[in-house]
Amino acid sequence: MPPKKPKQIDPQLQQEQFEKWKDSDEFRVWNELKIISKSLDTNISETTKDLTGNWQVYHNKLFELCQVFKCKPKFKFIDHVHIRSAFFAQEDIEINKQIIKQYIDGIYCSVEKLDKDRGNHVKQAFAKIYRTLEDHKFLEMSAENYQAERKNLQTLLNEFTKKLPILIKISHKLIEERLMQVTAPLRALLEINKKLMFFDLRNTAHRDRMIRDFIIKADIEQYCICLQECERILLETQAIKANPNVKLIFNKLGYENWQTNKIESFYLKPLLEAFEKMRRNLFCLMLKGINFYKAPLMENQQFVIDINEVIKAELISEHLLGSALKRDQINFVYNVLSVIFHANPQAREFLQKKDENCIKGSIPKLIAYHTILYMRAWKDRKKEDDLKQMKQEQQDQLKQTQLQHSQLQSTQDENLANAQSNIYVSPERKRQMEEEQKKKEEEQRLAEETAREKEQQSLMQKYGRYWLWDFYCTQENRQIFEDCVERVRHINKAVQQDIEDEIIKEGMIPKIRNRQMQQNDPSLLFNELRKKDYDNQYVLMRRPPELWNYPKVIDEEHQFRAIADPKKCYIDQRIENLEERINQLANHLQTYKPQTWKELIERVVDALKETYIQEPTQIDEQ
């Protein structure tokens, strides 16, 4: 018997039924679900490993769709944590009879096969439902195929509502534990970040923060631990290129008065801004909730961007300001380069262009020369104070002499008594006396070391750091600096100013000239400066070699002189000998640790130009 032909439906009636269905709740909710899926801007499939974001709105509409299609779900709502478990579940893989365990951020995250299968059933049904919302499928529904598409969706919804309760009841808790373990470092960081943010909001006044200092110290310690762990994970996954010590960030941002220091604020302000931006974004992430915390950690793209900006700013600031010595060095260099910057427009121009004559000629020589002047001034201040102290000690000497005489008599009497009573000393007593003597000597040695340290600290607080170029200079070359300190004592102060001007002149003529420079020849501009200085007879007649020790020359602020020639002031080669040593020291400073020296100089020039270079550069090993 031949098969029955399918019953023919009137096309007009079929179209009327389709139009009527489009006005039903089924079509309305299905269409609303499609609109919501578009707003999520996420493509998912059966191979998607995790599901994060604002999916709860989608789940609520999906539950409504299940109801209008009369699927009779055994749950009251769809919670995203259950759907995420379905996507996150994974099991160990066997390849060539070898078990490959599944790790995320170094944490074992696999579950049993049955748990993985339960999650996989839900994930497949969920993904298939999501694919029905694709434009080319949804918009191409017609009177001929809408019933088939509707029945297909109803089948998928029934499968979904059947498999989800099984996952929730049996496997969800175990999978969620694995997810919590993987996201634990991020969650710990978010929690301590929230605590610090609230502390800052409640304690805006400096006095309030000082009162609760013990609280903030403990929180900062915990913050450092949490952020350091996140950095370690990101470094292992190559999401970042370095893992700097987080404590150093808080240390540098805690420096006193850095906000009012031009060079320090120039390099610490970007660090503060990057760090605060990261903290704000972490706080926003925490407010969104755990459904937005991605695994692995490197998938949290905004956090990775923020931490990379913090690391770059931290590496730069650590190179330049990571210790008290580095702070003194960069402040000294900034002050020296400011002399060139403010000398005249031509000197400023070639400084900003980082011309080779300026960077490798003028700058190291001027730094060496100013170091010599600084060391001499330091010694002079200390010598003056020592003389005052010596006079005070002489006044007290008579009183001390009488006291010492009485103590000497007492000591002699004690020694006589000991000699009479210690005619015989037992071996045990002798051993005890030797131990006591050793203990006294050790205590005396420690006391002397402590006294020396206190003296060094006292001198630094009173006069500043005497020797600035540890790490950049050998002990042998330091002796040359000391020699120059004594040599410069025999040079008139006005001539010392001329030495500075002569060094600055070297950087005012570029080593390499392009066509534009040939048209505006710097030599011509320099000659105009010389002519102007020669015409200023008031200054010429009151400076060496015309007039020596004119008071106003020293008292007035020195203006750069293009005609300065210190060699004409002395005929005994003292200037030539000093310049020879300055050249030697300048060459040593820029070649002993060349990468670090280049970083220091160029970063200070950038600060004078007010141009912040975000990328850190390589330096020599500390």
Non-local (6+) Cβ contacts of 568 within 8 A are 545
Axis-axis angle for helices 113-131, 146-166 (nearest 10): 150
Non-local (6+) Cβ contacts of 376 within 8 A are 485, 488, 489
**Do 100 and 92 meet the contact criterion of CB atoms below 8 Å apart?**
yes
Residue type, 431: R
Count CA atoms closer than 13 A to 21's CA, side-chain side: 19
Q: Would you say the C-alpha torsion 506, 507, 509, 510 has a positive or negative sign?
A: positive
**Do 248 and 204 meet the contact criterion of CB atoms below 8 Å apart?**
no
Is residue 203 very low, low, confident or very high in pLDDT (cuts 50, 70, 90)?
confident
Q: Cα separations (Å) of 135 from 57, 64, 140? A: 20, 21, 8
Say what the pLDDT of residue 542 is. Answer: 78
Q: What is the pTM of this model?
A: 0.84
**Dist CA 99 CA 112 (whole Å):** 13
* Collapsed DSSP state (helix, strand, coil) of residue 98: strand
Helix (H) or strand (E) run with residue 100 in it: strand 98-100
Q: What is the mean pLDDT of residues 417-434?
A: 65
CA-closest candidate to residue 30, choices 1, 69, 65, 66: 65
Which tens digits make up the pLDDT trace of 327-384?
999 999 999 999 999 998 889 999 999 999 899 999 999 999 999 999 999 999 989 8
| Residue 609 burial by Cβ neighbours in a 10 Å radius (0-12, 13-18, 19+) | middle
**Dist CA 501 CA 494 (whole Å):** 11
**Dist CA 37 CA 437 (whole Å):** 86
pLDDT at residue 510 greater than cutoff 80: no
Say what the pLDDT of residue 415 is. Answer: 54
Most distant CA pair in the chain, distance: 143
**Dist CA 111 CA 608 (whole Å):** 59
**Dist CA 277 CA 283 (whole Å):** 10
Which range (415-429, 470-484, 490-504) has the least confidence?
415-429
Mean of the per-residue pLDDT values of the chain? 87
pLDDT at residue 554 greater than cutoff 60: yes
**Dist CA 440 CA 437 (whole Å):** 5
Say what the pLDDT of residue 485 is. Answer: 96
Q: Would you say the C-alpha torsion 79, 81, 82, 86 has a positive or negative sign?
A: positive
Which tens digits make up the pLDDT trace of 234-284?
999 999 999 999 999 999 999 999 999 999 999 999 999 999 999 999 999
**Dist CA 347 CA 355 (whole Å):** 10
CA-closest candidate to residue 517, choices 526, 504, 506: 526
CA-closest candidate to residue 291, choices 96, 106, 107, 58: 58
Q: Cα separations (Å) of 351 from 430, 519, 565, 609? A: 73, 20, 22, 9
Which tens digits make up the pLDDT trace of 93-107?
888 888 889 999 999
Non-local (6+) Cβ contacts of 463 within 8 A are 378, 381, 382
Q: Of residues 483 and 456, which shows the higher confidence score?
A: 483
pLDDT at residue 83 greater than cutoff 90: yes
What is the CB neighbour count within 10 angstroms for residue 498? 23
pLDDT at residue 535 greater than cutoff 80: no
Which tens digits make up the pLDDT trace of 285-339?
999 999 999 999 999 999 999 999 999 999 999 999 999 999 999 999 999 999 9
Residue type, 218: A
Say what the pLDDT of residue 9 is. Answer: 66
